[in-house]
Amino acid sequence: MTRALAERGHDVGLVVDTLANDAQTEDRLRALEPSAALGIHRFPMPRVFGKADVTTPLAVKRLIRSLRIDIVHGHGAKGGFHARLAGLGGRRVATFYTPHGGVLHFPAHSASGRVFHRLERWMMARTDGIIFESDYARRTYSALIGQPTCPVDVIFNGLAPAEFDPVDLAPDAADFAFVGELRALKGIFTLVEAMPGLRRKDGAPTRLVMAGDGPDRLQLEQRIGQLDLSQRVSLLGSRPAREVFAAGRAVIVPSLAESLPYVVLEAAAAQRPVIATRVGGIPEIFGPTANALIPPDDPAALSRAMQETLDAPERADAEMRERLAHIKAHFSVDRMADAILRLYQSVE
List the CATH number of the domain containing 97. Answer: 3.40.50.2000
Tell whether 246 and 300 lie within a shared domain: yes
What local confidence, expressed as pLDDT, does residue 136 receive?
93
CA dist 147 and 106 (Å) reads: 17
CB 278 within 8 A of CB 296: yes
Tell whether 180 and 323 lie within a shared domain: yes
Tell whether 185 and 298 lie within a shared domain: yes
Tell whether 234 and 141 lie within a shared domain: no
What local confidence, expressed as pLDDT, does residue 25 receive?
81
- Helix, strand, coil percent content, the chain, rounded in steps of 5: 50, 15, 35
What local confidence, expressed as pLDDT, does residue 101 receive?
67
Torsion, Cα of 242, 247, 252, 258 (10° steps): -30
DSSP label at residue 319: H
Look up the domain containing 309 and give its range.
161-330
| Residue spans of beta strands (DSSP E) within 53-154 | 71-75, 94-98, 129-132, 152-154
What local confidence, expressed as pLDDT, does residue 292 receive?
97
Number of domains within the chain: 2
CA dist 307 and 173 (Å) reads: 17
What local confidence, expressed as pLDDT, does residue 77 receive?
82
Going residue by residue through the chain, which has 348 residues, state the pLDDT in tens, using 9 for 90 and above: 999 999 999 999 999 998 776 667 888 899 999 999 999 999 998 877 788 889 999 999 999 999 999 999 999 888 898 999 998 877 789 999 998 866 666 666 776 667 778 888 888 888 999 999 999 999 998 988 889 999 999 999 999 999 999 999 999 999 999 999 999 999 999 999 999 999 999 988 999 999 999 999 999 999 999 999 999 999 999 999 999 999 999 999 999 999 899 999 999 999 999 999 999 999 999 999 999 999 999 999 999 999 999 999 999 999 999 999 999 999 999 999 999 999 999 886
**pTM score:** 0.87
What local confidence, expressed as pLDDT, does residue 126 receive?
85
Sign for the CA dihedral angle at 314, 316, 321, 322 comes to positive
Tell whether 20 and 147 lie within a shared domain: yes
Q: Which residues pair with 326 in a beta bridge?
A: none
Closest CA to 129 of 99, 84, 95: 95
CB 76 within 8 A of CB 101: yes
CB 184 within 8 A of CB 216: yes
What local confidence, expressed as pLDDT, does residue 273 receive?
98
